[in-house]
Amino acid sequence: MKILNLAGTEDTPKVILDKENELFEISGRSLPEDSAEFFAPILNWIEEYADDKNDETRFLFKLEYFNTASSKLILDVLSKLEEIEGVTVVWYYHEDDEDMQEAGEEFEELVELEFEFETY
């Protein structure tokens, strides 16, 4: 399966989706001009991955900031992950960032996925 590797910018998160090396991570800042366009390849990759998934998947979110448009697409990502058995979401947040911690907790309430919360 092809690796999806998007370099992060000031407005877009770094994305690495690599089935073989078990790397599934979205990190950085997410406020792209067109969130739907940015997240489309991520959602497509997850759909393809669902057909030939690993036994366990630890999907990491290490976001410093995301805008409202991105939050909808993050929920779409989580909803796609929800359809895959054996997924755990690891939600990282800076120890002083209560907003990001609360955002993760709100996402956890909206989907039926196992969440782990880690500080950095």
Quick one: pLDDT at residue 24?
98
- What strands lie across the sheet with 23-30, from one edge to the other? 4-6, 14-18, 23-30, 57-66, 87-93, 114-119
Quick one: pLDDT at residue 49?
98
Q: Are the C-beta atoms of residues 91 and 117 closer than 8 Å to each other?
A: yes
DSSP structure class, residue 21: T
Query: Can you give the pTM of this predicted structure?
Result: 0.97
User: How far is 26 from 40, CA to CA, in rounded Å?
Assistant: 14
pLDDT in tens, the chain (120 residues): 999 999 999 999 999 999 999 999 999 999 999 999 999 999 999 999 999 999 999 999 999 999 999 999 999 999 999 999 999 999 999 999 999 999 999 999 999 999 999 999
The domain locations on the chain are 4-119
